[in-house]
Structures are given as structure tokens and as C-alpha cells.
Amino acid sequence: MTSELRRPARTFTIRQLCREFETTPRALRFYEDKGLLSPARQGLNRVYSYRDRARLQLILRGKSVGLALAEIREILELYGKGDGEAAQNAKALRKFRERIVALERQRIDIGHALEILQKACANMEEQLARVRPDLLPQAEEYDRMVRARVDGHHEPAFMR
């Protein structure tokens, strides 16, 4: 009746999934704790189905695009609750659009920060070139040369 017919009815252990998706048992148990996964059991041991694996994949993809676990759970909860795929997609669509807006804003913020930082770096290099041209090429090495004395003592020049 389902499309599972053609799949081997295999299952996964917790560590198998962890290896496959490069995560940890603790994480999977955490997701379960938070209601994003609910694998079967054999005794105490967790037994993950293809379905669980698919859910995990969605969780990780969601995370990779910045969705919070709670949001992913919201989407997941619609799945298998009788309203089918369309509802899930509609919900996801909203979440995704929100995420897109947030990410674009964030990207703009990063752009601003980069501008500031680059200007500040330019200022500081120029300053350093005037005052201490000797330590300009590898300013990173300055730490090991801190004993060098300096002449004046004014206000700092970075970030103006």
C-alpha cells in the first residue's frame, strides 16, 4: 500500500545514523527528548526506520539553514497527522520565507560590519606605517616583540 514495499525493511542503530550524518548519539537523544524523533525500541535500544532517518535528514537540513529545533518540530508535527503533505509544505513555506528574510537582513549586517572592519584595518595600517613601519608586514608577530619601547602615548587610532 505504501512505497515502502520496494525498500528493504532495514533499520538503523543510533550510531549508524550518527556516522552517516556526522552527529552524536547525544544529539539524536536530544532531538527525541524535544519531540522531533520517536524511534521504535527493541527492549531499551532505539531502532530507527527509514522514516526516522528521513526525519533526521530534515532536522539537519533545517538546522543547516538556521531553523531552530522548535521550528523544525512545528513542521514535522504536521507530518503524519492526517492533513498530509500540503499542510506541511504550506507551513514550511512560511517558515522558509521568514528565514530568508532574516538571513538577508543578517547578510546585510555582516556587510556593514565588514565595511567598518576594513576601514578600521586601513586606518590602523596607515597609522602603523607612519609610527612603526618596521612591524607592518607581519603585524601578527607583534605579540612576541612587545618588549620594544614606544615613544608617545596618544589616543587609539582604530575604529574611527
With CB under 7 A as the contact rule, the residue among 49, 50, 58, 69 that binds DNA is 69
Q: How many CB atoms lie within 10 A of CB 83?
A: 12
Does 84 bind DNA (CB under 7 A)? Our answer is no
**What DSSP line would sit under 39-61, residue for residue?**
-EEETTEEEB-HHHHHHHHHHHH
Does 25 bind DNA (CB under 7 A)? Our answer is yes
Residues within the interface to its own copies (CB under 8 A): 3, 54, 58, 61-62, 64-66, 79, 83-94, 96-97, 99-100, 103-104, 106-107, 110-111, 113-114, 116-118, 120-121, 124-125, 127-128, 131-132, 135, 139-140, 142-143, 146, 150-159
**Closest distance between its own copies and the C-beta of residue 68, in Å?**
14
- The cell for 121 is 584595518
Exposed/middle/buried for residue 133 (C-beta within 10 Å: 0-12, 13-18, 19+): exposed
CB 52 within 8 A of CB 12: yes
Closer by beta carbon to its own copies, 47 or else 60: 60
CB 116 within 8 A of CB 159: yes
Near DNA by CB under 7 A, which window of 49-57, 66-74, 125-133, 145-153?
66-74
Which entry of its own copies, DNA, none binds 14, CB below 5 to 8 A by partner kind? DNA
Does 44 bind DNA (CB under 7 A)? Our answer is yes
Which entry of its own copies, DNA, none binds 89, CB below 5 to 8 A by partner kind? its own copies
CB 119 within 8 A of CB 157: no
Give dist(CA 9, CA 7) in Å, integer.
Answer: 6
Does 99 bind DNA (CB under 7 A)? Our answer is no
Return the closest-CA partner of residue 48 out of 38, 61, 58: 38
Contact residues for DNA, defined by CB under 7 A = 13-16, 23-27, 29-30, 43-46, 63, 68-70
